[in-house]
Amino acid sequence: MVPLSPAHPAAPPNPFTIGGPHNASTVCNAVRCIEQNVEWVADCLRFMRDAGYTALAPSVDAENAWTAHVRAAAEETLLVRDPSSSFFGANTPGKARSIAIYAPGAAAYRERCDEVARRGYEGFEFR
CA distance 59 to 95: 26
For residue 2, the SS3 value is: coil
Write out the residue range of the structural domain in which residue 91 sits.
25-126
Of 41, 61, 68, 54, nearest to 122 (Cα)? 61
At residue 3, the pLDDT reads: 40
CA distance 103 to 78: 10
Domain assignment present for 12: no
**pLDDT confidence band for 116 (50 / 70 / 90):** very high
Domain assignment present for 10: no
pTM of the model: 0.79
What is the tally of structural domains in the chain?
Answer: 1
Domain assignment present for 54: yes
CA distance 28 to 42: 21
**pLDDT confidence band for 69 (50 / 70 / 90):** very high
**pLDDT over 80 at 1, yes or no:** no
Domain assignment present for 64: yes
How many percent of the chain have pLDDT more than 70? Answer: 88
Domain assignment present for 115: yes
